[in-house]
Amino acid sequence: MITIIRAAVLAALFLCSATLSAWAQDVALSSRDGKIELSGTLLGFDGEFYRVETEYGELTVDSTGVQCEGPGCPNLDPFVAELQLSGSATMGEVLMPALIDGFAQRNGYTAVREDEDEHRFTYRLIDEKNEQTVALFMFRASNSDEGFADLLADEADIVMSLREMRPEERVRAREAGLGDMTGLNRSRVLSLDAVVPVVSASNPVKQISPLMLARAFAGKVTNWQALGGPDAPIDLHLPDTSSGLAQAISDQVMRPATLKFTDNITRHARPADLAEAVANDSFALGITSYAEQRDTDVLTLSGSCGFALDASRRTIKTEDYPLTAPMFLYFPARRLPQVAREFLAFTRSPAAQIVIRRAGFVDQTPEEIPVEDQGNRFTNAIAVAGPEITLEELQRMNAA
């Protein structure tokens, strides 16, 4: 009796194992002549190539050379390209939608936005000729940390980030089979932004030094009198700690001063909420991005040598303004659908640079600045002149 029961259990386990195996290997790709067959789990299809997880690892196979069988096989007619984008809310809510609209207009598509919740939405590209959907751009607009986490979990094709990828994230990406994220064509700077200190329009303070800014957010300076303002406590506001902008602020403002943030800071999940809170509080001091300043006043950065720098499109582009913050796109070493590749090519075009500028961000179009518009540069050069920078050197610079 024991032998019979054991045989029944083994048979049941074998049947269960076979069922699970059949479910996991949901596609079978075979060559046209039937001599080669490859089974595995379909990870993606871009209209031209299958991406399959097999016993040999992740493989990319040309669809024109194989036949696909199994429940995981995609519907080839008509094919709808899908692209998942995750990361920075600043980029996802403003910049990327503007670029998608511009791309659609230039290529005969209609872009329709479909909202799912506060952070998730999809742009559907519809061909105006046959009114068929050709692509879905699916967004999760949260923060840079979440974007990289989604990439490592194979839940995102492109990461939108306000910071560079961390070394530990690069290591995990390589271990996950995503390739060397520091390599060529694994990232690109989409546009430029900057970290700016902001106050209410009713605040009399108009400038601050980078060191005093860091000391304020470290809790070392707590009263506006120390900054030339009224006798009132400073209310501090920053983006949420997991956002790429907050990490850029830490890298560019706090790290050079070897200081850490105080706990007495109000954090905001959305840049718009931070700007509104600062604009409505005469004694608030915040740090946000240049593109998200909204109704606040941006403080001029002053230096110990007497120079002063305002954040503007031109000073950010030339990086004369010291706290610049590039906006990155990261993508793994895998093939993207053709419409996605066309979109990425569009983001580098002159037309896209116009879209970026109109959306309130700093484009990367080279431009020539007339000498008469560079007064700040000449003033700062003269202000910092000393024994090592003689009058002759200044004259040589002017002549050049």
Find tokens 């990086």 and name the residue.
319
| Concatenated DSSP letters of 8-77 | HHHHHHHHHHHHHHHHH--EEEEETTSS-EEEEEEEEE-SSEEEEEETTEEEEEEGGGEEEESTTPPP-T
| Identical fold between 81-186+331-358 and 193-324 | yes
Which CATH class for the 81-186+331-358 domain? alpha beta
Q: Cα–Cα distance between 82 and 328 in angstroms, integer?
A: 21
pLDDT for the residue 284: 97
Q: Going residue by residue through the chain, which has 400 residues, state the pLDDT in tens, using 9 for 90 and above.
A: 434 344 443 344 333 333 333 334 588 888 867 778 888 888 877 777 888 888 888 888 877 778 888 888 877 667 788 899 999 988 998 899 999 999 999 999 999 999 998 889 999 999 998 899 999 999 999 888 899 999 988 899 999 998 888 889 889 988 887 888 877 788 899 999 999 999 999 999 999 999 999 999 999 999 999 999 999 999 999 999 888 889 889 999 999 999 999 999 999 988 889 999 999 999 999 999 998 899 999 999 987 555 678 898 888 988 888 898 899 999 887 788 889 989 999 999 999 999 999 988 999 888 888 888 777 778 777 877 878 888 888 888 888 8
E strands, the chain, in order: 27-31, 37-45, 49-54, 57-62, 66-69, 81-88, 109-115, 120-127, 133-142, 158-161, 187-199, 207-208, 235-239, 266-268, 284-289, 297-298, 300-302, 308-309, 324-330
As a CATH number, domain 193-324 is 3.40.190.10
Q: Cα–Cα distance between 122 and 90 in angstroms, integer?
A: 16
Q: Where are the domains of the chain?
A: 36-77, 81-186+331-358, 193-324
Q: What is the pTM of this model?
A: 0.72
- pLDDT tens-place string over residues 86-138: 999 889 988 999 999 999 999 999 999 999 988 899 999 999 988 999 999 99
Note whether 86 and 160 are within 8 A (CB).
yes
Note whether 289 and 122 are within 8 A (CB).
no
Residue 339 identity: V
